[in-house]
Amino acid sequence: MPGLTISEKILAKASGKERVSPGDIVDGSVDLLYMHEMLAMALMPFNEIGTMKVWDPDKIVVTLDHWVPPPTPEIAKMHQTIREFCKKQGIKRFHDVGDHGIIHQLIAERGYAHPWELVIGSDSHTNMVGAVGAFAAGIGATDTAAVMATGRLWLRVPETMRVDIHGKLGKCTGAKDVILKVIGTTGDDGARYAAVEFSGPTVRGFPMDERFVLCNMTTEMGAKVGMVAADATTKEYLAHSGHPFKAIDSDDDATFAKTHTFEIDGMGPQVACPSNPANLKPVEDVAGTKIDVAFLGSCTNARIEDLRIAAKLLRGEKVAPGVRFQITPASQIIYRQALKEGLVEIFMDAGATFTSSTCGPCFGGHMGTLAGDEVCISSTNRNYPGRMGSPTAQVYLASPWTVTASAIHGEITDPRKV
Amino acid sequence: MQTRFKGRVWTFGDDISTDHIIAGKYLGTTDSKVFAEHAFEAVDPTWAKKVQPGDLIVAGDNFGCGSSREQAPVALKTLGISAILANSFARIFFRNAINLGFPVVECPGLKTGVKSGDIVELDMARGEVHLPGGPVMRFKPLPPNVLEILEAGGLVPKLRKELATKSAG
């Protein structure tokens, strides 16, 4: 019998089976369900299903992240409904405005997800959490309601695509450049329905923040989940949770539907051009493109490490005249850390805007949206038409290095030249 | 369950994302009429007004990629789109549509055989699409577990039935 991949091991465990194979339909027992404002959309189907009570309030985490603080009375009301629901259902891990974060970051940094777990989130970027060695998949409102009621979800066991990364990151490049390169090579549906497992010496050497970036944007490859084997780095990251740690990796003789190998030695910064995350160019090819907005935020790239990069480049510099540079940390914990390290002062001295944590600008919701024909360079994850505001706005996706360097120069800038 | 749908076609290309279908700025409500009114606004601001109940969507690869927002299939279903046929679907969009009892079918190559305004007939049971002028395209039927959800009218009615059976038994 051939060995199993990480996803196959977790789905076998979650469905109480010895082993599972790609294509099998399994009924998985969910270890963790997490939700943001989509909970409001899930309430109608939840009430219709009629169990009245959630299956296990201790396996649920809720925060508010898309519209924080609420920009309209209707959304403030939506938040009220969610607050009341959590109270009524006894969901203790409800992180209200003030204690909030973009949910994937909140789940990661608070140590709520662990290797070997089946994690389900009401958001497409749930894939990020797979970086801890969990099977973490995103779903919509009706599936969310079903999991709330039953604690179970049917899943098709995915084929696994292995992505091996070799080589050393070059100057002013990071995991964002690597994942943009991967998406640019495989296409924005290159891993549709598949599990993407990152491996190879570069990934094994990556700290957790870089692993989160890789897994986060497997969503932009169409993947069901993205994952990295749980090892000593994972163990150390999760140590504060007090939860017992059990490593996970694919077996040596596991079957991979496909293996891509990337050699990143000598690779420079990468940019995904309008209006598809797979529309890849090396930064040199788009350098000089005038920008109106630079945005450093989202679950993809707004961790403390990203903010430190921005501060490093911004110290003693100014944001270019006519450009608005907005920095929005991925969580309140990161916000506090940025304050403590003096980063916020550097941002403000440079003329950048620093806001409370929210998904707002990334999905064109509020707190920094784009006007027609505005050009934005962004550390976020998607640039389809209308994603960040007007359908005629142009969004370039890049790393925190490239975004910050561009904010200073008012045009897309190769950060190696700053 | 209705298995035959005859209607006018609207064609779309590859990689139609949930941002194309319903923009983030309209998601601050749970009112499905709002989603319907603004469907495909990024592509054609008058589209939602031109669509008639019973129309079908035919698209290329990776339809519905991007967000998990169920508001996207809700918007199209609310407008009365009877089914979506595409070369392929993004996984969350596919699940969301099926969960709503909204037929979505992978029919690779159909898009090259039809244009907007054509009348086609979809036969889910036989796995066929009848094109104008007579040609028939076949597609692989949906997997049994997916068909079961669709036949129940969506995931909620299916679960209600299952839970009722369980408590009665």
Domain ranges of chain B: 4-168
Q: Which residues of B touch A71 (CB under 8 A)?
A: 28
Cβ-nearest to B99 among A48, A67, A143: A143
Are B8 and B114 a contacting pair, CB within 8 Å? no
pLDDT at residue A418, rounded to an integer: 86
SS3 A120: strand
Sign of CA dihedral A86, A362, A238, A310: negative
Mutate to test the interface with B, among A55, A75, A189 (most CBs of B within 10 A): A189
Q: How confident is the model at residue B169 (pLDDT cuts 50, 70, 90)?
A: low
For A50-162, where are the alpha helices, taking DSSP H only?
A: 73-89, 103-109, 141-150
Surface-to-core class of residue A61, CB atoms within 10 Å of its CB (0-12 exposed, 13-18 middle, 19+ buried): buried
Q: Which residues of A touch B160 (CB under 8 A)?
A: 48-50
- Spatial distance between the Cα atoms of A145 and A48, rounded to a whole number of angstroms: 9
Structure tokens at A315: 């110290």
Compute φ and ψ for A401, nearest 5 degrees.
-60, -55
- Spatial distance between the Cα atoms of B96 and A77, rounded to a whole number of angstroms: 25
Would you give the distance in Å from CA A143 to the centre of its chain? 20
Mutate to test the interface with B, among A384, A388, A395 (most CBs of B within 10 A): A384
What DSSP string describes A336-388?
Answer: HHHHHTTHHHHHHHHT-EE--S-SGGGGTSSSS-BPTT-EEEESSS---TTTT
* pLDDT exceeds cutoff 90 at B168: no
Look-up: residue for tokens 């740690």?
A245
Cβ-nearest to B62 among A72, A140, A188: A188
pLDDT tens digits, one per residue of B57-89: 999 999 999 999 999 999 999 999 999 999 999
CB neighbours of A202 closer than 8 A, spacing ≥ 6? A165, A166, A167, A168, A169, A178, A264
Contact A66 B27 (CB under 8 A): yes
Structure tokens at A219: 């969503």
Architecture of domain A6-262: 2-Layer Sandwich (3.30)
Contact A140 B91 (CB under 8 A): no
Cβ-nearest to A384 among B20, B27, B95: B20
- Residue intervals in chain A for CATH 3.30.499.10: 6-262, 272-417
Helix (H) or strand (E) holding B75: helix B71-78
Contact A124 B62 (CB under 8 A): no
pLDDT tens digits, one per residue of A98-114: 999 999 999 999 999 99
Q: Which residues of B touch A365 (CB under 8 A)?
A: 24-25, 27-28
pLDDT tens digits, one per residue of B28-47: 999 999 999 999 999 999 99
Are A407 and A396 a contacting pair, CB within 8 Å? no
d(CA A239, nearest CA chain B) in Å: 31
Report the DSSP pairing between strands A225-228 and A195-199: parallel
Contact B99 A276 (CB under 8 A): no
Are A125 and A299 a contacting pair, CB within 8 Å? yes
Q: Which residues of chain A have pLDDT under 70?
A: none
CB neighbours of A141 closer than 8 A, spacing ≥ 6? A38, A41, A42, A45, A122, B70, B96
Closest listed residue to residue A215, CA positions, set A202, A228, A200, A232: A228
Mutate to test the interface with A, among B27, B94, B96, B165 (most CBs of A within 10 A): B27
Q: Which residues of B touch A193 (CB under 8 A)?
A: 91
Peptide bond into A378 cis (omega under 30): no
Task: Give the B-side interface with A, CB within 8 Å.
Answer: 15, 17, 19-20, 23-25, 27-30, 41-43, 61-62, 65-71, 88, 90-92, 95-96, 99-100, 143, 145, 154-156, 159-160, 163
Compute φ and ψ for A341, nearest 5 degrees.
-85, 0
Report the DSSP pairing between strands B4-11 and B56-59: parallel
- Spatial distance between the Cα atoms of B45 and B38, rounded to a whole number of angstroms: 8
Contact B145 A140 (CB under 8 A): no
CATH code linked to domain A272-417: 3.30.499.10
Q: Which residues of A touch B29 (CB under 8 A)?
A: 74, 78
Mutate to test the interface with B, among A142, A143, A153, A154 (most CBs of B within 10 A): A142
> For chain B, how many helices (H) and strands (E)?
8, 7
Closest listed residue to residue A399, CA positions, set A298, A276, A314, A296: A296
Are A264 and A168 a contacting pair, CB within 8 Å? yes
Look-up: residue for tokens 């949910």?
A103
Contact B28 A149 (CB under 8 A): no
Give the global pTM: 0.98
Cβ-nearest to B92 among A72, A124, A364: A124
| Cross-strand partners of A396 | A377
- Kindly report the number of other CB atoms within 10 A of residue A267's CB atom: 17
- Spatial distance between the Cα atoms of A1 and A254, rounded to a whole number of angstroms: 10
Mutate to test the interface with A, among B25, B62, B104, B142 (most CBs of A within 10 A): B25
d(CA A266, nearest CA chain B) in Å: 31
Q: Which residues of B touch A122 (CB under 8 A)?
A: 68
Are A183 and A219 a contacting pair, CB within 8 Å? no
Contact B96 A143 (CB under 8 A): yes
Percent of chain B with pLDDT strictly greater than 90: 95
SS3 A321: coil
Write down the ipTM of this complex: 0.97
| Cross-strand partners of A325 | A294
* pLDDT exceeds cutoff 90 at B104: yes
d(CA A49, nearest CA chain B) in Å: 5
Angle A38-49/A141-150 helices, nearest 10 degrees?
50
pLDDT tens digits, one per residue of A41-90: 999 999 999 999 999 999 999 999 999 999 999 999 999 999 999 999 99
* pLDDT exceeds cutoff 90 at B1: no
Q: Which residues of A touch B28 (CB under 8 A)?
A: 67, 71-72, 74-75, 78, 365-366
Closest listed residue to residue B124, CA positions, set B145, B97, B136, B142: B142
Q: Which residues of A touch B25 (CB under 8 A)?
A: 364-366, 369, 389
- Kindly report the number of other CB atoms within 10 A of residue A165's CB atom: 25
For the segment(s) B4-168, the CATH number from 3.40.190.80, 3.40.50.720, 1.10.3720.10, 3.20.19.10 is 3.20.19.10
Peptide bond into B108 cis (omega under 30): no
